Structure 1
């Protein structure tokens, strides 16, 4: 058989399990706690043609305070047929749980899988919570079947790897990764060890629930009827005629009735008084609520006015700030200009003005002298 080391793989992925019991489909989907996931774990070595397959179901069991899990151990040597379907018709309960495209792995077994629990679990292994009891029922049924389907995400494993497993099973060459069962059990649960268990059937007539809760009222039997013979016997031994006693009893009964009637009247008065007080208190509370609602409305209006005023003030501050910034800029320019002039400097405007003034003065002076010179020549 050729070797393909690239097909060696370890797989641990959420899964849903389906099998048939009493001609009806059964499912292991929701563990306890429900936020946990049923997982399918497998290891496969194509080179050595060995594999292991396990189902892990989170569950709460007695004897273990923390969350634990029960392992469904599929013995490699018991696999008579392995097949897979890449496009199966997925049941609705499985589709909702996995919420992805699924592939179906089918196992036909020569013997049912074994259930394994932690060695810390008390014997017999029992659920610690009511939801765990439901998962226990599913595991109990699963441990009796020899044909099961495991749904996993199609992204978790390739067709080549599944084909390699199918080929190894069909050629009857698939071997367990660990042939020593006791050593394999001892390595489970973080090295604390596991043990193969047998889940007891839940008695239908048992009044003890998984949480040791008392039975409901519907499950209680009615009390036995009174003993008629004893009653008739006591009547037969009573004296035949007791006239005065009967009259006394009638008087006592009337007095009792009168007192009971008066007590009932007093109770009625107390009830009506209490109802009246409650009505007054409700009316007072209603008035208070109405007043508080009005005050709340007024406060909301004042808050809205304050918010509007604040917005206007912010706008004014923004405008004043811009104006103040411009003043600061002009002051800075004026300061620079003053410093420049104080050091004997001339800016361009002042220099141009000075040149223009001197030029005009010189031209005026020249023109005036030329005019006077011309007049003198004419006189000579």
Structure 2
């Protein structure tokens, strides 16, 4: 099925329906992230490479954002099975030809850039669950319906576990929980599912899929001082950087003579997983509060869109993406300050990463689309 270009023309009435606060939050968070990526990589000669790549992906994302918002999401909904099964095929493919990054074979090398299929799979899974629930008239508490919807979540989750990418598995899990909760699943089933998850975690933990160094990285947050020269090194350096920021930040990376701040020089993966350490040091509590306020606006607007959506598909997609943001923000910031175990979950829209930025903005564009077309038409 080919969509004619005329379908992508956005009329003025629809343009006025765009949630301006949500769009403002997205753009501002990304620009703030690009600035901090530059500051985080300032000590290195190749630092502009990260900024240029992130900026290019942002530009491509904005173009994609327009096309996503211009096309009625009921048309996009029709392509959901194609998105879902395409992402599943990519997850299988990455296990065969994928390259390994930080212990997980989850990336496909495209030459100039690398692509992480799990990023696409998490969005496609939520879309598929939303479509199936809508087809079932929301009757999620029917055992057969529940098993069908759960199976669509289990297939990509199992393939991501095999990589193994525990961070992305956790993200997908919390998105699915959000969907089941929004879909009205009986609370007893949710509690039973969480109990089953605990059992599954114990089995996976002792299965050999998770390497010893990955286990140590996860549990090191409990006592970073005991592992300050090994697994706890990331957290210890992150805490020093954030702690030195105080209320207003050190602003040490802004000086032309400065080689950069403490975090940019001593925190590993500071431009990706530990970007919040850079923000905490350079901008202090005030800068962190600014970023969290933008996230707060974004999440509140998404909840409002979910509440006012005209169909179940729109409601489920908006809730699924809200669940993703809530968990990813909590997990990423929590691991940089010692409240959560260290995983490979990036800070949404802020951390360096082209495939993550592109898929996040496009999926948020779908939520904007749902908000633009929330009003039911009566004839």
Normalised-by-shorter TM-score class: under 0.3
- Which of structures 1 and 2 has the larger relative contact order (alpha carbons within 8 angstroms, sep 6+)? 2
For the pair shown, the structure with the greater C-alpha radius of gyration is 1
Structure number with the higher strand fraction is: 1
Report which of the two has the higher share of helix.
Answer: 2
* TM-score when normalising by structure 2: 0.20
